[in-house]
Chain A
């Protein structure tokens, strides 16, 4: 969060101003992901019934098997939802690759010098150190969010590939190659575990942490206040402000030009 002094009048103006942060595709994809994870995670945990792993309480495994009508149905349900998840994500990326994904990735995922600096200072500040240092301005997503996005993108790709191996490997792999299926299990598990570990932080920061309340509501409305944008994502705020000013200037110039044409016509 920026420690910039903002006069009261400007604070009030910024609080009333709304800036668009997420488009409809982002919002729908986000909540689609939430729904898929809400279905996949508990059923995936329930599938892991191996007593030798000793990971999942039998009560959990049995509850899901009973609700869905047995192990085969539980596995089928997990496969089906997983396939739906991957299909929609793949479709989204293919359809919106140039228009949405590349611009988003360029601004929302690539790390710049400020991000590197942010990563050096932020951990120290979280430990109560480096109080004299100020955090560099951040784009629409801060360096921490960018790092987590790498984990999520890479994790999702690994989860999808290993999941497909688990679901369909038996049909394509000869028996001598079934070690690939054996390895797909711990890989699938580890990738999910890594994303879930980050998910704790993501959910807390997005939905519970008071300074980020607006981030949570923006996942419904798509908008944040100018106040939040300037305090948390100053680089993004000033870029949007400049774009807005340029757009306004363009509209005004067009208006002036038309007015001049009308006058000349008279």
Chain B
């Protein structure tokens, strides 16, 4: 049996020079409007102590989490984790633009596209990957910092890079039952910084109202009506029909 694909990114932080070619390539490939971006490079500033100094740059985008809070909160299933390869995708034609996923994302990887009026985010350039190409940001990365591939394929670029890594970090977010398990692995550098740390998912008052009050109230009302009618129908059956009275 074929092993399921698990697409994701490996980012070698030591190789990023903050040229931002990846941002340009992504914008061109995905028609991202000016002033917005699906991917970012965070500048962590100078790290270390003299003379062992380095400038930390952390490329990042949607983490394509194993357990994405954005998918959990989407009311219509317009965003989903594709079971075929694990990328978190958005069906823009189905999205109603409620922004609940934007607030729920611990990595701020989503935004409202002013041209489509709905949510936008990194889709791993699935349109390229499906025809055997690398995502635009990976293909254009001159330093070889960004890598993409199938973690379940031992021969993929990402698996090879992970095996040879000097250090390995993930920006995992855990809180209660939430454990995002992101599918971006950072190698060969330290990315643990306050400016890039994930935050707790935000759930809207409307969503909480719906979940905690509206659903129980509606189910109780419908349940009571259904039970009442079932009881009346049972009584009707037990009484039998009165041919001439009806």
CB distance from B204 to the nearest CB of A (A): 5
A52 adjacent to B236 (CB under 8 Å): no
- Closest 6 pairs (CB-CB, A-B): A193-B218, A170-B97, A49-B77, A72-B93, A186-B210, A182-B206
A204 adjacent to B233 (CB under 8 Å): yes
B76 adjacent to A75 (CB under 8 Å): yes
CA–CA, A170 to B78, complex, Å? 14
Chain A contact residues: helix, strand, loop or mixed:
helix
CB distance from B111 to the nearest CB of A (A): 9
Please, which residues of chain B bring their CB within 8 A of the CB of A194? 218, 221
State which of A83-91, A110-118, A173-181 sits at the interface with chain B.
A173-181
Please, which residues of chain A bring their CB within 8 A of the CB of B224? 197
Please, which residues of chain A bring their CB within 8 A of the CB of B210? 53, 185-186, 189
State which of B23-31, B66-74, B192-200 sits at the interface with chain A.
B66-74
Given A178-B99, A183-B206, is A71 in contact with B228 using a C-beta cutoff of 8 Å?
Answer: no
CA–CA, A196 to B217, complex, Å? 13
State which of A27-35, A136-144, A209-217, A239-247 sits at the interface with chain B.
A209-217
Please, which residues of chain A bring their CB within 8 A of the CB of B222? 193, 196-197, 200
CB distance from B26 to the nearest CB of A (A): 21
B71 adjacent to A51 (CB under 8 Å): yes
B129 at the interface (CB under 8 A from A): no
B101-138 interface (Cβ within 8 A of A): 112, 117-118
Interface size on B, residues (CB 8 A): 45
A sample of 14 inter-chain contacts (CB < 8 A) reads A47-B76, A49-B77, A53-B75, A75-B94, A76-B93, A170-B117, A178-B112, A181-B99, A193-B219, A194-B221, A197-B224, A201-B229, A204-B229, A204-B233
Given A50-B73, A53-B210, A183-B206, is A208 in contact with B233 using a C-beta cutoff of 8 Å?
Answer: yes
A253 at the interface (CB under 8 A from B): no
A166 at the interface (CB under 8 A from B): yes
Please, which residues of chain A bring their CB within 8 A of the CB of B233? 204, 208
A208 adjacent to B236 (CB under 8 Å): yes
CB distance from A192 to the nearest CB of B (A): 8
Please, which residues of chain B bring their CB within 8 A of the CB of A103? none
B75 adjacent to A179 (CB under 8 Å): no
B215 adjacent to A178 (CB under 8 Å): no
B225 adjacent to A186 (CB under 8 Å): no
Given A169-B96, A170-B117, A209-B236, is A52 in contact with B218 using a C-beta cutoff of 8 Å?
Answer: no
Given A200-B225, A204-B229, is A179 in contact with B206 using a C-beta cutoff of 8 Å?
Answer: yes
CB distance from A252 to the nearest CB of B (A): 35
Q: Mark B202-213, 1 if CB is under 8 A from A, else 0.
A: 001011011100
B226 at the interface (CB under 8 A from A): yes
CB closest residue in chain A, given B100:
A182
CB closest residue in chain A, given B206:
A182
Given A71-B80, A175-B112, 14 additional A-B pairs, CB 8 A:
A48-B76, A49-B76, A70-B91, A75-B93, A75-B96, A167-B96, A173-B97, A179-B204, A186-B206, A186-B209, A193-B219, A200-B229, A201-B229, A209-B232
B139 at the interface (CB under 8 A from A): no
B170-214 interface (Cβ within 8 A of A): 204, 206-207, 209-211, 214
CB distance from B37 to the nearest CB of A (A): 16
Interface size on A, residues (CB 8 A): 45
CB distance from A194 to the nearest CB of B (A): 7
Please, which residues of chain A bring their CB within 8 A of the CB of B99? 175, 178, 181-182
A171 at the interface (CB under 8 A from B): yes
A-B contact count (CB 8 A): 130
CA–CA, A215 to B217, complex, Å? 30
A166 adjacent to B96 (CB under 8 Å): yes
CA–CA, A192 to B77, complex, Å? 20
Q: Mark A52-81, 1 if CB is under 8 A from B, else 0.
A: 110100000100010000111011100000
B98 at the interface (CB under 8 A from A): yes
Contact of A197 among B73, B80, B97, B221 (CB under 8 A): B221
Please, which residues of chain B bring their CB within 8 A of the CB of A196? 222
Please, which residues of chain A bring their CB within 8 A of the CB of B241? 210
CA–CA, A95 to B65, complex, Å? 54
CA–CA, A222 to B209, complex, Å? 43
B166 at the interface (CB under 8 A from A): no
Please, which residues of chain A bring their CB within 8 A of the CB of B118? 170
CA–CA, A48 to B76, complex, Å? 5
B112 adjacent to A71 (CB under 8 Å): no
A250 at the interface (CB under 8 A from B): no
